[in-house]
Amino acid sequence: MRKIFFTYTMITLGSLFTAVGLDMFLVPNRIAAGGVSGLATLIFHIMGFPVGLTMLAINIPLFLASLRILGTRFGMKTLYGFFSLSVFVDIMEPFITSPTQDPLLASVYGGVLTGIGLGIVFRSGGTTGGTDLAAQLLLRYVSTSSGQALLIIDGLVILLAAFVFSAELALYALISVFISSRVIDAVQEGVGYGKAAFIISDYEKRIAQGILNDMERGATFFDGKGAYSLKKKGIILTVVSRSEVTRLKNLVSGVDPDAFVIVTSVNEVLGEGFKETER
Neighbours of 18 (CB within 10 A): 29
Could you tell me the domains of the chain?
Answer: 2-189 (no CATH), 194-266 (3.30.70.120)
In whole angstroms, give the CA distance from residue 154 to residue 175: 12
φ/ψ of 258, rounded to 5, equals: -95, 5
DSSP string for 136-198: HHHHHHS---HHHHHHHHHHHHHHHHHHHT-HHHHHHHHHHHHHHHHHHHHHHH----EEEEE
From CA 193, how far away is CA 269, in angstroms rounded? 8
pLDDT of residue 67: 79
What was the pLDDT predicted at 78?
A: 85
pLDDT value, residue 10: 93
pLDDT at 88: 96
Torsions phi, psi for 180 (to 5 deg): -60, -45
What pLDDT was estimated at residue 241?
79
- pTM summary value: 0.75
Note down pLDDT in tens along the chain; length 279 residues: 888 899 899 999 999 999 999 999 999 999 998 889 999 999 999 999 999 999 999 999 888 887 777 666 567 888 898 999 999 999 999 999 999 999 999 999 999 999 999 889 888 877 887 777 776 677 677 766 555 666 777 888 899 999 999 999 999 999 998 898 888 878 876 665 678 999 999 899 999 999 999 888 889 999 888 887 888 888 999 998 777 888 899 999 999 998 999 998 887 777 666 665 554
Provide the pLDDT for residue 254. 93
**pLDDT at residue 33, as a whole number:** 87
